[in-house]
Amino acid sequence: MRLTNYYLLLLTLIILSSCNAQKENNVVSLKDSFKNDFCIGTALSANQIEEKNEKEDSLIKKEFNAITAENIMKSMFLHPAKDKYDFAMADKFIAYGEKNKMFIHGHTLIWHSQLASWMAEIKDSIEMKNFMKDHITTIVSKYKGRIDSWDVVNEALNEDGTLRKSVFFNTLGEQYLVDAFKLAAAADPKVDLYYNDYNNEEPAKRQGNINLIKKIKAGGGKIDGVGIQAHWRLESPSIETIEESILAYSALGLKVAFTELDITVLPNPWDLKGADVNQNFEGNAKMNPYQEKLPDSVQVKLANRYASIFKLFLKHKDKISRVTFWGVHDGQSWLNDWPIKGRTNYPLLFNSNLKPKKAYQSVMKLKETNE
């Protein structure tokens, strides 16, 4: 009798072990849940690219199948001097994506911010043309066939839809936009080319974005998609406004990507909207209300907001190529220091301890109910 009980216990343990192993092999994740809908991406810091934190690295590989470099491919890092490129970190970023079979997005080729100081000082149109040709051709050619899509131009519009008076516009006029897309396409004809901006879901800026796209196409430029950064808030923009933008951009024959998704839960000074990294404001206690933790009531609001957004994304999954979060976890988020330094924000699906939040569960439940 004792021997029989022993074998029964042993058999039970074997079955349990097998079930647990099967569960581990079928771990539910964002990338697997949405694999038939669109890519799920994240922005990687330099430390994450170099795999310096084992737990972060494990989370990235488990949850995401697309990556964007948070900073290291911006011109101040990639092209620090006129006759010098530094590809060391970019090479590691590409290698990381290839090793993990991820969609690799290049961010960004032409942007007025985070420029190397020598670029901002260019005043002559011929010199600017030569810079753009060398910069875009060198970088895109180097990673030809290895990068899946590029932000060719980033944030070229003002909030009213007019063109920003950047160093590129001031030297070349609006032609620089056409030239940038032509140069990128010539360097890698097969890579997808995007225009990327914040608040370009808002009506005035959206119309300016549509006008810009039409000018690029009319000038012979190749443009495959629009990136909506999606630095959003708990109450705005409305789901209707976001949907109108998806439909408007898709109607132009373009892919739509949500490229830098995060949702601030903190109050904004003077009702600030947007993502201009050059804006900063002095802080006070009222502007940093959740220093220790996020109250459950706000966790629920954040979860409901993410659920509404992803419900819309699933509705239009045939038009959306990629949804990328701007950071892996709350502790990494740029919103802890913008537009007020030293605050504690909670804009992503994972907390600073890498644990999934209510918002994560709300997004995942959408797939459970749809299947």
Contact 141, 98 (CB under 8 A): no
Looking at this protein, which amino acid is placed at residue 22? Q
Known active-site residue 155: yes
Cβ-defined contacts of 276-285 (< 8 Å, 24+): 276/198, 277/113, 277/114, 277/334, 277/338, 278/113, 279/338, 279/339, 280/338, 280/339, 280/340, 280/341, 281/339, 281/340, 282/340, 283/340, 283/341, 283/342, 283/343
The helix/strand/coil state of 150 is strand
Which among 63, 155, 201, 202 is annotated as catalytic? 155
Task: Map 110-158 to HEC letters.
Answer: EECCCCCHHHHCCCCHHHHHHHHHHHHHHHHHHCCCCCCEEEEEECCEC
Task: Please name the helix (run of DSSP H) or strand (run of DSSP E) that holds residue 299, with its range, or none.
Answer: helix 296-315
Contact 252, 312 (CB under 8 A): no
Largest CA distance in the chain: 94
Kindly tell me the sign of the dihedral angle through the C-alpha atoms of 334, 338, 340, 345: negative
Residue with tokens 């097969």: 190
Partners of 40 in the β-ladder: 323
Known active-site residue 63: no
Which among 56, 63, 70, 260 is annotated as catalytic? 260
Residue with tokens 């007020």: 340
Annotated catalytic residues are: 155, 260
